[in-house]
Every structure is written in C-alpha cells, then in structure tokens.
Homo-oligomer: A and B are copies of this chain.
Amino acid sequence: MAITIRDVAKEAGVSVATVSRVINDSGYAHEDTRKVVLEAVNKLNYKPNEVARSLFKRKSKLIGLILPDITNPFFPALARGVEDYLQKEGYRVIFGNSDEQLEKEMDYVDTFKQNNVVGIIASINETDSEMLSELSIPLVLLDRTIEALPSVYADQEQGGRLAAEKVLERGSKEITIVRGPKNVKNVYQRFEASYEVLKEAGVKVNILDSNLSFNGAKERAIELFQKYPQTDGVLACNDIVGVAILNEAQRIGKRIPEDVQVIGFDDISISELVYPGLSTIHQPAYEMGAKAAEILIKKINQEKLLNIHYKLAVSFVERKSTRKIGK
C-alpha cells in the first residue's frame, strides 16, 4: 500500500541499504547515487515508516506527556510550551490526563513505554513517583519536583510569600487564604509560605479549603464571605478561584479593591481580561513547558546537565484587584 524503502530502492536501482544510508546521511554514498536516490524519494513521495525504525532502534520520536487536567487553564500553557519545543526538534507528543490519579499515571507510563517513547514529561505527585525513579527512560517532572528526578517548576514559596507580602503592604488586616488540596504539594507550599508570612505579621488569618478546578469554585467563594465576612484580603490558591471570589465579592456589594483585595496564583491568560483585572502571582507556564522539553531532549541525547532542578522565578503582577501601594 504505502511506499516502502524497497520501492524507492527499486526505483533508484540501488539496494535498500543505500537508500537508508542516503536518507539518514550515515555511511558512504556516492554523490551521483545520492542524487538518484533523492530523486526517487521525491518522485514516490516516500516517507519512512517510523514504526519500523522505532522497532529496530528501540527508540521512537515520541514523547509522553502527562498532565493532571488539560481543562484547567494553567496546563494548556505548559502543554503548549512542551509541544512547541518538541515539535521543532522533530518529536511528537502522546498526551494523557491523569486527574492526579496514580493509577492513570502508571497506566500512561506503561503504554508510553509500550510505544517506545524516548522520554516522558509529567506533572505527578511526590508520593506517586517512586516507581518512576527507576524508569528506564528519561523523565522530567513539570510543575512538580522531587529530589530524585530532574524537574522544572516555579518557586512556590517565593510565590506564596510574595502574595502575602503584597496584601500586607497594601493594608489588608483580616486575610483569608483559600488553600488548595493537600495532596498537590506545590499548591500546598504556596499556602504554607503565605501563612507563615501572614502569621508573622500578626494579622488575622482564616483558612478555607478548596480544590483547583472550576467545579465548586463559586460555592467556595460564597462560603468564604459567609464564614469570614470581615475578610478584607484574599489569597487564592489559583486564578480560577481568584476570579470566582472577585465575582462573589462584587455580587454581594463589596468594592474591589477598597473593601477586599484579591490575589490569585498562576496568571492564566484570562486574569488580565476579567474585571477588575486580577492581581496575581505569575508562573511562567509556557517557559516551564519549553524548559522541561529542552532538558528532556538533552537527557535523551545524553548531554550532561548542569542542573537537575530548575526552579523558575515567579513574580507579582499588579492589576486592579489590589490597592495601589501607599493608598
């Protein structure tokens, strides 16, 4: 059916070995022969079967990517960073959503391996990582980190601290932290860092638990102002719940930022567009994805890495949900 290397060989009047050498630029090939072969390749529009290649070489041009949930706006940016970089390098990505579930993660890893992927990029939790440490193929952690594996992530502590410092500086006196799930370690770190700074400042702080998705964000926001009506500053575990809080606060007649300031986390694209613009902690998601892809490729190519862990800086993005400083 499809054109094979044998068809090309016949067309060019040479052996398959010669064709292979020409298209891979390996070994010797006479200039004239090369030309004839290339012509045959073009004429037949020959594209080598990657599966056959992969079988023999025991490595493909495929890379596995596991993210918790592509539907959560933070992850597409990561994914795009990964994909753009890999695409440029000639790799393709097999993608799976894990919902933070160990079982799904492992299932993907298994099938990735069965498909001869040469590397894996994954956002998985610390507790789930044991079986991965002894994986036979390179893996880099994205948006998460553990000692044993290379990783690319953003500085959660700095982010948590930054958020706390900024509300404080801008005069909030009773601050509610909306804390993400404990099993998502990086999110929990944000909380801890914020909490510490706030406690140290001696300000009143409330804690509310929430998850990270759209689901239930609205309810959490409602609960927040019912439970802690005196709240004049909110540190949200991510921008989704930040936006939900912005909404609820305005709905019940609170002025933003005069009555209550809100700081999100992530800096997803929409945060700039909502009203009022959501001040937030920027995580360089696209760059993180691209960086993870870059170091994965380096590992695949056996290049020595200076660092195993890449902790990228976060920054405070000041928009309209926080007061101007000094006011």
Contacts and interface: CB of A to CB of B under 8 A. Distances in A.
Give the one of A71, A79, A244 with max B CB within 10 A. Answer: A71
Number of copies: 2
Complex A-B, nearest 8 residue pairs according to Cβ-Cβ distance, in ascending order: A247-B275, A50-B114, A214-B269, A95-B95, A70-B76, A250-B275, A244-B273, A243-B273
B80 A76 contact: no
Interface stretch (A86-94, A157-165, A196-204, A224-232): A86-94
Contact of A55 (B52, B93, B273): B52
Contact of A214 (B116, B240, B273): B273
Given A50-B116, A247-B273, 14 more contacts: A49-B55, A49-B116, A50-B114, A51-B54, A51-B60, A62-B94, A70-B79, A71-B80, A73-B270, A92-B94, A92-B108, A92-B111, A214-B269, A247-B277
Contacts of A111: 50, 61, 92
A80 B244 CA distance: 23
A274 interface: yes
A62 B75 CA distance: 22
Interface of A: 1-2, 47-52, 54-55, 58, 60-62, 69-71, 73, 75-77, 79-80, 83-84, 87, 92-97, 108, 110-116, 136, 214, 217-218, 240, 243-244, 246-247, 250-251, 269-270, 272-277
A95 B97 contact: no
Nearest to A95: B95
A92 to B, nearest CB: 5
Contacts of A49: 55, 114, 116
Give the one of A58, A274, A276 with max B CB within 10 A. Answer: A274
A49 B51 CA distance: 11
